[in-house]
Structure 1
């Protein structure tokens, strides 16, 4: 067994389980504005600033569970929140302050996708 540490270089892709690929593509592409890279009946790939989001129907029952929370970075969280509310996105909570560190205030607003997976908008605002 090697003691050489693994050198993680970044995240290439995140998987989000869905039950209706077309409805999910509409949400992530049209509502959230993520470019569609590829789509077929049981899966789709979208681009989130260089990280692929794989929307896929669970292949086995043990894979059919809520996804991890994806935190989507936005410049103006209030504006993004209002825009998504106007598009019918169901929010768990409005934008709220999470923490303050390294000269920034971190804000988040949690929302649901069509499969009720929880995700979040996040913004780091310089402390005045």
Structure 2
């Protein structure tokens, strides 16, 4: 069996593609790649993010949570708040993974999807 090595693309369901493109391009500042009439693509590191208007009702459901890694979760939180992003709470420690402590803050994107920013830093 071939082993899975990394995430290549994540699909996020949207209802208003123009509004979602503005949010991901202008607020989150992801690298815009291209757009069709029902989809838009961004790069986030090595992962491609596809914003997609559902083609059928069975595909119109909230998606998985996408966790964006940042260098400084508090700084990113502050910057996004200044741009109007409403968070569900402040950045907080989620837990420890060996010698790494994980901090996260959650918010809702323009389409109602839950999104998170996360920072992994060496445990002190």
Same fold (TM over 0.5): yes
Asked if residue 75 in structure 1 is aligned to residue 71 in structure 2, the reply is yes
Hey, what does 1:57 align to over in structure 2? 53
Deviation, 1:104, is: 1.5
The equivalent position to 1:40 in structure 2, one of 11, 36, 41, is 36
The range that moved more, 59-68 or 33-42, is 33-42
Does structure 1 residue 120 correspond to structure 2 residue 119?
Answer: no
Q: Kindly state the Cα deviation for residue 53 of structure 1 after the two structures are TM-superposed.
A: 0.5
The one-character-per-residue Cα deviations of 1:58-77 (angstroms, maximum 9, x if unpaired) are 00000000110000000000
Structure 2: gaps (5+ residues)? none
1:18 aligned to which of 11, 14, 19: 14
User: In 2, distance between residues paired with 1:93 and 1:68?
Assistant: 19
RMSD over equivalenced CA pairs, Å: 0.9
Larger Rg, first or second structure (1 or 2): 1
Aligned length: 124
The separation in 1 between residues aligned to 2:10 and 2:70, in whole angstroms, is: 18
Instruction: For residues 9-60 of structure 1, give each alpha carbon's deviation from its aligned partner in whole angstroms, at most 9, with x where no partner exists.
Output: 2211110010111111111111111111001221100001011100010000
TM-score by length of 1: 0.93
2-side partners of 1:20 and 1:101: how far apart? 37
Cα distance in 2 between the residues matched to 1:117 and 1:126 = 30
Moved over 2 A (4+): none
Task: Determine which of 94, 97, 104 is the counterpart of 1:101.
Answer: 97
Give TM-score scaled by structure 2 length: 0.96
